[in-house]
Structure 1
């Protein structure tokens, strides 16, 4: 299921004007997934009314969100498939009831000495990819970084896609700041932190992708996440189910227009 496209189609459909008038051009530098992130962005992208309508469909109960944490490595084929086919599409549809944490490290090893303090299962390029993604996450946070990482992981070449994906999804962030992080002490610090998080897993990680739900790993969670993370998150959420989970069509208030 292409859940992410539904979000985009919602906004695309709202740009049509009645009586055959032409479509307005959105004057903003933000991708669709960020249009309703703040009132300022919504105004800049001329979708404030559409965001109000979208907000009307969001759950209001103060119930804890479902936390999904992915321990992965940037060039692992199975990790890439899960991130692009399960995790990102589910988050795009259910980000109101779920939180995502990404820990790019996987089966890497931290060395006590040497010119390169880390070795990775798929070689030095993977260590480089892990660090790029860690630096982007640290700099702009998950909400803005996730589309960049999705773009990278769904590309034919993860590393070659890094810079254009950043320019596409976070145009305000300069590529030089990413390379400075990767080559400097901050990048190594972030990798060390991810190493500690990965080593602290209980039970210990035996493979990647490794998925925890609300901080817990079970074989059942893993199997269900791999087959249909969307259904798992909907079932795990304790509050009122959003329309995306139930398939219900909610009548929207057209007076907003």
Structure 2
């Protein structure tokens, strides 16, 4: 949660000031600013590192794959995505990959060459699912954008603002063309196929698979402590976040 709050604050400050200069407290050389989430936070360049897609570039072999099957307006899905999945990914992005499939308990019906959708929480949820699906197809910064949407009071109406914060170059007109056109319809159809292909079939959302597998034990561990689950499943050398070699320091505010 601390890393999450630092990310949001850093991105907001960088957006307001337009600054891309490192923080004065940065102890890393420029070549190492994006070497980890810790260095990016310390140097105040989280947004710039995210925009360079450094998380994927620095991902280690054998990364643990976590896929979330969800609905954009499902309260439990929103809670898991914003308070568990995204913060864990921020801390463990080098050993963890995340997939998002917004469909959940929706119903798909053929309509000529296209498909129509009915969603558990109504038409607005179908719209939210489609917006997030199109964003994933069009932006390398889809996860931060979707986190911003799902953590806001109004998922749909804040979508454009969230996209502007995390990916200012994303053409919102093209996003909505995807949402309202054939591309979005086909992308959502693929979400439907992926969801229907789950084995065992999903019984609720959020539904989590880990390395392609779903069991009630894995689901419970993911919901209760995804961080520990990923650290325990990763077979490579322990990362700093999982308890590998760390620098310990003491910092005090004296009583004056």
TM-score normalised according to structure 1 size: 0.77
1:33–1:92 CA contact under 8 A, matched in 2: no
- Within a 5 Å distance, the mapping from 1:62-141 to structure 2 comes to 63-113=61-111, 117-141=116-140
- 2:190 pairs with 1:193: yes
Measured against aligned partners, the alpha-carbon deviations of 1:128-182 in whole angstroms (never above 9, x if no partner) come to: 00000000000113xx100100000000110011010011111001110111000
**Structure 1: any 5+ residue segments left out of the alignment?**
19-30, 43-50, 252-257
- Classify the secondary structure of the residue corresponding to 1:112: strand
Aligned length: 220
CA distance in 1, matches of 2:215, 2:231: 18
Tell me: CA distance 1:250–1:35, structure 2 relative to 1, closer, same or farther (3 Å).
Answer: farther
Aligned-residue CA RMSD (Å) = 3.0
For residues 77 and 68 of structure 1, do their structure 2 counterparts lie closer, same or farther at Cα, with a shift above 3 Å needed? same
Cα distance, 1:241 vs structure 2: 1.3
CA distance in 2, matches of 1:206, 1:124: 21
More moved, 104-113 vs 66-75? 104-113
Q: Which residue of structure 2 aligns with residue 22 of structure 1?
A: none
Determine the C-alpha separation between the residues in 1 that align with 2:6 and 2:246: 14
SS at match of 1:160: coil
Alpha-carbon deviations, 1:213-243, whole Å to 9, x = none?
0000011110011011111111111011111
Equivalent in 199, 204, 215 of residue 202 of structure 1: 199
Task: Provide TM-score, normalisation by structure 2.
Answer: 0.77
Structure 1's 17 and 69: CA in aligned 2 closer, same or farther, altered over 3 A?
closer
Q: 1: distance between equivalents of 2:115 and 2:123?
A: 9
Answer whether contact 2:78 2:150 (CA < 8 A) is retained: yes
* Contact in 2 for aligned 1:7/1:93 (Cα 8 Å): no
Residue of structure 1 equivalent to 2:3: 3
- The CA deviation at 1:9 is 8.2
- Asked if residue 240 in structure 1 is aligned to residue 240 in structure 2, the reply is no
Q: Determine whether 1:36 maps to 2:35.
A: no
**CA distance 1:5–1:248, change in 2 (3 Å):** farther
CA distance in 2, matches of 1:116, 1:128: 14
Asked if the contact 2:115–2:189 (Cα under 8 Å) also holds between the matched residues in 1, the reply is: no
- If asked which structure has higher relative contact order (CA below 8 Å, sep 6+), I would say 1
Q: Using a 3 Å threshold, how does the CA distance of structure 1 residues 210 and 33 change in structure 2: closer, same or farther?
A: farther
